[in-house]
Chains A and B, each alone.
Chain A
Amino acid sequence: MASTIARKTNVGIVGAGNISEIYLKNLATVFGNVNVIGIADLVVERAQERAEKFGVGAFSVEELLAHPDVEIVVNLTIPAAHAQIASEAIANGKSAYNEKPLAINREDGKRLLGEAAAKGVLVGSAPDTFLGGGLQSARKYLDDGIIGEPVAVSAQMLGHGMESWHPDPYFFFQPGAGPLFDVGVYYVQALASILGPVARVSSLSRASFSERTVESGPKTGDKITVNTPTHIMSSIQFENGVVGNLGASFDVWETNHSTLVIYGSDGTLRLPDPNTFGGPIQLLKAGGKEWSELPLTYGNTENSRGLGVWDMANALQTGEKARANGELGYHVLDIMASVLESGENGHHVDVKSTVERPASLPL
């Protein structure tokens, strides 16, 4: 991405797990407005390995969080550590960008927003797939009225979990993960960024299987106790009146597991998998029989994880509002927590937070 910005924003990464590879690649070599100072991990060797590969510094977590040059801490730790690491970064006067979710509960999420505001720094969170070429193009088509007024949405992430291929799938079945927090978050963030805030949810949920068995790698045969709902079906009402349903499951066998469809007064738009940055986008016009594929009008269609950090760095430079911002991350967290709460408590939950739709990226 070409940059005309004179000064680059200095970034430090905490967490050298699987996902850090693509962040490092994009932040160190693709986006021109950031400079990666270094990476840290509780397991020092992991940080060193990544650091060498991308020619950045390797630090301890404490060193990185205290590093005087770091302006944004990109927090790629496990979800349960998101709040604590971000909180320490903010306390040191740094902006924080968390992998999804912002935090694993509302209290932590809200606290982070308060701390960031008090310190005058920014907080943001993944997913940033909604800034990719696929979803930005879809948003533009919708805003231009290609299907008229949106009236309904269906978002379904249906699959049979991770134990068949993931070597260490334990955490997917614990609170803070499950199909909604782990994968559904892409769908919720995409919807909130395109249709605006959600006002009310109701849901039913269960863990259809109380135990999972690891099927690959050295832990093959190990049993995992399931401690969070793995089949979650909800109805959602947006502030603008749109009524939709959101399903997230690790319990079912399905092949068309990723579907995100927005229905409008004059047609229907099938959106890309929101866990990707590209297409396809398909349109059905009112009364039509055939779907047609629409061209993508925005770039960033490859795996562009880190776009949200790029955008936060721009926001720090220009004073404009970041798109994958903390308010959006918190609203998404609030929706997901409300969905689980409704399933547990047996009543509809009014989503207390709200958010402005983030601005479209410039064409």
Chain B
Amino acid sequence: MSGTLANPVSVGIIGAGVISDIYLSNLTTRFDNVRVAGIADLMADRASERAAKYGVAAITVEELLADPGIDLVVNLTIPLAHAEIALAAVAAGKSVYNEKPLTATREQGRELLDLAAANGVLVGGAPDTFLGGGLQTARALIDDGAIGQPIAATANMYTHGHESWHPDPGFFYQPGAGPMFDMGPYYVTALVSLLGPIARVASSAGISFPERTVATLPKRGDVIPVNTPTHITATLDFESGAIGTITTSFDLYDTTHSKLMIYGTEGTLRLPDPNTFGGTISILQPSMFKAQRDPLSVGRTPDDKADPNTVEKPTWEELSPVQGFIDNSRGLGVADLARAMREGTLARASGDLAYHVLDVMHATLESSDEGRHILIESTVERPAPLPNPF
């Protein structure tokens, strides 16, 4: 972002956990339309430590919420506290940007958006990785028709959970977390930002392992009861007519799956990990097949033909991101929200987008529980592409 603004938005950060480091680093150095006034945490020592490192004030949560000079609260608390802190901020007349997910429940999310509208302030929510160079380049390719009309998408987040390395992994396995609420926001937000809103969801979900065992000190050997599905696979109907699948799992060993694919009438895009800002994009187009048109390359093996595994397949073309933010740019969504506050533009990582994503994630659990397709009541406009340069 170029130029110095006369009137930057004054930001207060609540929550001085691990993630606050990158937010502080970026918000104090990379975006000149925001100025970090201070940071607060229930544990005063943690706030003081971060404050000292980045030369901002350490204050209490109450002081921060009561400070009339702070226009925007960046809410980096644990997911279960998102609603309470955000509602307090909005009630105090401040705009708020929540880490993902927007809130724990749909009701909290709705209440937050309604109160913000009534008070004339804005709500935003992470993730903002979809504003990074990787996914913005994909967006430009799709909008330019590089793969024709998008008709399908697959999103896969596979890990074997966090107990092998995380010192206190219990919360990953409780309602409100699990692989969908923990990692799903990156994938669902990316899909909605690229393909538009989701209209209907059908899913199956299960708990493959009823217990997990902590593998690292100091809690090594502690047994964690698993109280939320850890393997969730869902099909998604987009309003556009495209059909997607999403699988989020803490139950699987894998190394090779594609994380995010968009299939179109005229080609396919393989996208980077949506939990990153950069990454490589690969494209496959029908012309790459035409050169070696062969029955074996189109999904069927006629009898008495060669082993399909030995047939040469077209090579995907690799494309580099053309947009600017390809390193860890967390806080980009905050800067964009600040611009919206000053200039009246629509924020991209908006509360409406974060609410729609929350609505969809809940539906992926409900559908399996209730044995029916879930119609998604919320909808949202695709956020506009990020200007380049920002």
Interface of A with B (CB < 8 Å)? 18-19, 21-22, 149, 151-152, 154, 157-162, 164-166, 179, 182-183, 200, 202-206, 208-209, 231, 233-237, 241, 243-245, 247, 249-258, 261, 263-268, 273, 275-276, 278, 280, 284-289, 291, 303, 305, 342, 346-348, 350
Could you list 27 A-B pairs, sorted by A, with CB under 8 Å?
A21-B303, A152-B251, A157-B299, A160-B289, A160-B298, A164-B293, A164-B298, A165-B293, A202-B204, A204-B200, A204-B235, A206-B241, A208-B152, A209-B265, A231-B151, A233-B243, A243-B206, A245-B247, A252-B152, A253-B286, A261-B254, A265-B208, A273-B301, A275-B300, A284-B255, A346-B200, A348-B367
Q: Contact: A243 with B253, CB < 8 Å?
A: no
Closest chain B CB from A311 CB (angstroms): 19
Across the interface, which residues of B come within 8 angstroms of A285, CB to CB?
253
A286 touches B152 (CB 8 A): no
B298 touches A152 (CB 8 A): no
Residues of A within 8 A of B286 (CB): 160, 253
Residue B307 at the chain A interface, CB threshold 8 Å: yes
Q: Nearest B residue to A255 by beta-carbon distance?
A: B313
Known: A252-B151, A253-B267, A348-B202. A291 touches B256 (CB 8 A): yes
Neighbouring B residues of A204 by C-beta, 8 Å: 200, 202, 235-237, 243, 373
> In the complex, are the beta carbons of A154 and B253 less than 8 A apart?
no
Q: For B254, list chain A residues within 8 Å (CB).
A: 261, 263, 268, 284
Contact A200 B204 (CB under 8 A): yes
Per-residue interface assignment for chain B, residues 290 to 330, with 1 indicating a CB less than 8 Å from any chain A CB and 0 otherwise = 00011101111111100111000110100000000000000
Contact status A154-B268, CB under 8 Å: no
Contact among B151, B203, B297 for A251, CB-based, below 8 A = B151
Report the minimal beta-carbon distance from A211 to chain B, rounded to whole angstroms.
12
- What chain A residues lie within 8 Å of B284 (beta carbons)? 253-255
User: B243 near A206 (CB under 8 angstroms)?
Assistant: yes
B27 to chain A, nearest CB (A): 36
Question: Whose C-beta in chain B lies nearest to the C-beta of A290?
Answer: B255
* Inter-subunit contact A265/B209 (CB<8 Å): yes
Interface contact B151-A208, CB-CB below 8 Å: yes
Interface residues of B, CB < 8 Å — how many?
63
When the two chains form their complex, are residues B299 and A158 in contact, meaning their CB atoms are under 8 A apart?
yes
Which one of A149, A206, A251, A347 lies within 8 Å of B372 (CB-CB)? A347
Nearest 4 CB-CB pairs, A to B? A159-B299, A151-B208, A235-B204, A202-B202
User: Using Cβ atoms and an 8 Å threshold, which residues of chain B touch A237?
Assistant: 204, 206
State in angstroms the CA–CA spacing of A94 and B236 once bound together.
Answer: 47
- Among A179, A204, A234, find the residue whose CB has the most chain B CB atoms closer than 10 A: A204
The answer to the question of B139 belonging to the interface, with a C-beta cut-off of 8 Å to chain A, is no
Residues B367-382 near A (CB distance < 8 A): 367-368, 371-373
Minimum Cβ distance to chain B for residue A28 (Å): 15
Question: Is there contact, CB below 8 Å, between B303 and A18?
Answer: yes
B350 at the interface (CB under 8 A from A): no
Residues in A with CB closer than 8 Å to B247 are: 154, 245
**B233/A243 in contact, CB under 8 A:** yes
The answer to whether A255 touches B151 (Cβ under 8 A) is: no
Q: Could you say which of B241, B301, B373 contacts A275, with CB atoms under 8 Å apart?
A: B301
Is residue B100 contacting chain A, with contact meaning CB distance below 8 A? no
Beta-carbon contact of B303 and A245 below 8 Å: no
- B158 nearest in chain A by CB position: A263
Hey, which chain A residues are within 8 Å of B293, CB to CB? 164-165
Query: Which residues of A sit under 8 angstroms from B164, Cβ to Cβ?
Result: 287
A233 touches B303 (CB 8 A): no
A77–chain B nearest beta-carbon distance, Å: 16
The reply on B252 being an interface residue by CB < 8 A is yes
Cα(A70)–Cα(B245), bound, Å = 48
**Complex alpha-carbon distance, A209 and B286, angstroms:** 15
Given known contacts A151-B251, A253-B289, is B204 in contact with A18 (CB within 8 Å)?
Answer: no
Closest B residue by C-beta to A289: B255
Q: Given the complex, which residues of A lie within 8 Å of B129, measured CB to CB?
A: none
Q: Which residues of B contact A346 (CB under 8 A)?
A: 200, 202, 372-373
Given contacts A183-B300, A200-B371, A256-B313, 10 further A-B contacts (CB under 8 A): A22-B303, A159-B300, A160-B289, A166-B295, A202-B202, A235-B204, A245-B233, A249-B152, A251-B152, A348-B367
Residues of B within 8 A of A255 (CB): 284, 297, 313-314, 316
What residues of A have a CB within 8 angstroms of the CB of B245 in the complex? 233, 245, 247
A165 touches B295 (CB 8 A): yes
Chain A residues contacting B371 (CB-CB under 8 Å) are 200, 202, 347-348, 350
A161 → chain B closest CB, angstroms: 7
A284 touches B303 (CB 8 A): no
Q: Do A243 and B205 touch across chains, with their CB atoms under 8 A apart?
A: yes
Q: How far, in angstroms, from A149 to B210 measured CA to CA in the complex?
A: 13
Listed residue (A183, A291, A348) with the most chain B CB atoms within 10 angstroms of its CB: A348
B166: chain A residues at CB < 8 Å are none
B372 near A303 with CB under 8 A, answer: no
Min distance, Cβ A300 to any Cβ of chain B, angstroms: 14
Most buried by A among B209, B235, B255, B299: B299
Min CB gap B155→A, angstroms: 11
Distance between B181 CB and nearest chain A CB, rounded to angstroms? 18
Residues of B within 8 A of A243 (CB): 204-206, 208, 231, 233
A347: nearest residue on chain B (CB-CB)?
B372
A99 to chain B, nearest CB (A): 11
A243 to B205, CA, bound (A): 7
Distance, CA A275 to CA B252, complexed state (A)? 25
The answer for the CA separation of A280 and B309 in the assembled complex, in Å, is 9
Contacts of A273 in B (CB 8 A): 301, 308-309
Q: Give the chain B neighbours of A231 by CB distance below 8 A.
A: 151-152, 243
- B256 neighbours in A (Cβ, 8 Å): 291
Docked CA distance A162–B284 (Å): 18
Q: Which residue of B lies closest to A305 (CB)?
A: B303
Q: Which residues of B contact A267 (CB under 8 A)?
A: 253
B70 to chain A minimum Cβ distance, whole angstroms, is 45
Q: Separation in Å of the B146 CB from the closest CB of chain A?
A: 12
Q: How far is the CA of A258 from the CA of B309 in the complex (A)?
A: 9
Contact B253 A287 (CB under 8 A): yes
B residues within 8 A CB of A268?
A: 252-254
Whether A284 and B205, one on each chain, are in contact in the complex, defined by CB atoms closer than 8 angstroms, is no
- Nearest residue in A to B149 (C-beta to C-beta)? A208
Name the residue in B284, B309, B367 with the highest tally of chain A Cβ atoms < 10 Å from its Cβ.
B309
Of residues 156 through 208 on chain B, the ones whose CB sits less than 8 Å from some CB of chain A are 160, 164, 200, 202-206, 208
Chain A positions within 8 Å of B289 at CB level = 160, 164, 253
* A236-B303 Cα distance, complex, nearest whole Å: 29
